[in-house]
Structure 1
Amino acid sequence: MRVVALGGGHGLSASLQALRHITEAITAVVTVADDGGSSGRLRQDFDILPPGDLRMALAALCEDTVWGHQWSGVLQHRFGGDGDLAGHALGNLLIVALWDLLPGQEVRGLDLVGRLLNTRGRVLPMSQVPLDIEATVTVDGATVDGGKTDGGKTDGGRTDGGKTDGEGEGCAGTVTVRGQSQVARHPGRVTSVRLLPASPPACPEAVESIKLADVVVLGPGSWFTSVMPHLLVPDLLQALQDTPAQRVLTLNVSLTDDEDSGYTVADHVHAIAAHAPGLTFDHVIADPGVVRSEAERRALAKAVDRVGAELVVTTVAKMGRPGLHDTLRLAAAYRDVMSGVVS
């Protein structure tokens, strides 16, 4: 069974680890808009794709052997101290070194890392140009200072400024926030997201993998900065709409992140429909922990119906670890919804 998983960060890592229990024919299509931490520094210094989410996907696909576990640990190792290497993950530096040796061949560089690690699957960027995320955020008067946002610069060096629609200090309104790291933690409610540059080119190999897939999985993860950006790349969205593959949307098991402020899981599905109105799904997987009341379940069912999907409510959260998916439970949920797919 050929499965394509789209996302970024810890959410994509969880879905990849779950999918490994089902198939080895996995392709991860990873967001490339990170501008914070080690990725942001390397992106700014070398004008390259941010490697962090790509590294995490490669680590998640390492084989389940002593060799695989050792190399996964090496890839994820982060230097401490106060020197120039402080905060950098070794895997980020390895990926950047290969890109430096193979200019313009980002996919080949990632494939070489995969061969070194003997990964069970392939990792691709969603675009071969680094992207910025820009969001419109509704704020209250407490977050507005004289008509401007309270931010300065992102870790990647780009401003997050913008003006509110309100007038004067303390007015409620909307602000434009730029940069993945800023959108992820800016106070207020995200109402829409965009990519800069607009309509970026998709990675051709990513488009092809979606066209040839048996199943495509979107989510979980940071909804507006890791999951939805894939729908803002026109060729990726077109491939998602045209593919004969079964489409599965995986919802988060927690709504405590800053960028989830004021959102329910039903709102997350509505946001998908608003940003990609022609896209439908076959199944939407939700944990009962985020639909605790009958009213929440009805609202989610209505949202799921809007995208043409069947709602599957099943326990996929890790016990005693709020906000984390249990990869074995998630694997079981994927197995159940994929049972009708011919491998």
Structure 2
Amino acid sequence: ICSSFFSLLKRCTWLPIILLLLDITPMLPVLEGVVMELQDCSLPLLRDIVPTDKEEVAFKDLDVAILVGSMPRKEGMERKDLLKANVNIFKSQGAALDKYAKKTVKVLVVGNPANTNCLITAKSAPSIPKENFSCLTRLDHNRARSQVAIRCGVPATQVTNVIIWGNHSSTQYPDVHHCKVNMSGSELACFDAVKDDAWLKGDFIATVQQRGAAVIKARKLSSAMSAAKAICDHMRDIWVGTPEGEFTSMGIYSTGNAYAVPEDLIYSFPVQIKDKTWKIVEGLAINDFSRSKMDATAAELMEERDTAVAFLGV
């Protein structure tokens, strides 16, 4: 993900960047190779690069923290073991953010299980507002948008307002009940544009939910360029806002006041962003089909949270 993300810095035209790159000590020689490649790109807005294995250097006065490193699930590893390993990683990084970063820092957690890792990070950084933390569901959002676009034979830019509800996992719910598709100059509801309700309620959802696994099966590696693009999309929207009338998907802290989602979860909602502040899109009609999907992914997140928090000791 990292190398692909850095290559996408070429797209940025709106602010200079100083990159602080944190990795474990044995990986510092590899990190130096990444630094050389970045230098060789002659990126116009890249002002400096600081590779380090020290949290006090990497997290000092950050405006943005993108946390991509997590413990991957290994063969024979139980889910609780995976959560325990990641609690240790993200507890440490949250504490470092709390100690060294600006209190206005925007934190994006990418490493999986992203929602629960994000929650642990936020709980470990109590002096930073919880609304400053988010996890990446923009990749799922982009996948859903693309699948609808392919089905309708239009560019992905013609598809707006898909929603990813819940967890960045196979329980996530890609919802197109509020999606619009621009076809031949006319804006249609997604169900009217696709004209295949069975596909939208079946194979479409499964394809988006399982897309990450499908990529791994095909290329023997996890998503790279698409994940990097989603990170850029996510951070760009935080900085410059979402287009008027459109919303995107982000895993954010639930206070229990929106769409009957339980509190104290990092849950993906539809949001609009302005002045670096997100706001949940309110008042969307939720039918019984959607409600059951939203509740199922919330139940998984509650189970993950309770297991992780037990390891955190709070």
TM-score range, shorter chain: 0.3 to 0.5
